[in-house]
Copies of this chain bind each other. A is one copy, B any other.
Amino acid sequence: MAASRTADVSARSGTDKREAIIRAAIRVFARKGYFSSKVSDIAGQAKIADGTVYLYFKSKEEILHSIFNRMMESFISDGKKEIEGIERADEKLRRISELHLERLGADRDLAIVFQVQLRGSIKFMREFSAAGFAEYLDIIRKTISEGQKQGIFRKDLNPVVCSKILFGALDEMVTNWILSKKKFELAPAAGEVLDVFFNGVARA
C-alpha cells in the first residue's frame, strides 16, 4: 500500500511538473506571444529552473506542440462523447458549437494561444491541421452529411464547405471575444451562430 502510494506520487510528480510547464507556457504564450516568450519566462512562471523544462520537453517548440495536441485530443474526444447519444444532426452541431465556445470561453489564455499563436505560422498551422484540426472539421462535416440524410439539411449544399463556414463563424466569435475589452460570455454566441447557420439571414 505504502509502496503503491509512493509509486503513485512519483508517477504523478512527473506528470504534475509537465502539466505545470504547459500551464505556465499557455499563460506566457498568451501574454507575450510564442516568439517573444523566453523559456526562462516559462520556467519562472512554473517555478522551476530553466534547465528543468528540458527534462520534460525537447524544445520550446515542443511545448507549443504539446499544447495543441493536448487541446485537440480532449476537444475531439469530448466532442465525440457529447454527441454520441444525440440523434438529430442539428442537435449534434448545437452541442459541438456550445462545447467549442464553452471550452475556449472558460480559459482565456488557452483561447489566445489557440486563436492567435497557433495561427502565427504556416508551419504551425499545417502541423496543427495534421495534428487534429482536420479531424475536428471532419466531425462537423460528417454531421452535416448525416443531417442531409436525415432530411434536416438541404441536400444541394457541399458539406465540406458548410463545415468550414460553421467553423469559421465560431472561430471568429472566439477571436472577437479575445480581442474585446468588454468581458462578456462567449458561449451564448453559439445559439446566434447556429440560428444564422441553420436558417440564414434572409427573410423567408
Contacts and interface: CB of A to CB of B under 8 A. Distances in A.
Interface residues of A, number: 55
Interface in A120-178: 120-123, 125-126, 129, 144, 147, 151-155, 157-158, 161-162, 164-165, 167-173, 175-176, 178
Contact of A201 (B30, B116, B198): B198
Contacts of A171: 168, 171-172
A125 B125 CA distance: 17
Contacts of A112: 122
A20 interface: no
Nearest to A144: B201
Q: What 7 A-B pairs have minimum CB-CB distances, sorted nearest first?
A: A120-B120, A168-B172, A200-B200, A119-B119, A199-B200, A35-B35, A165-B169
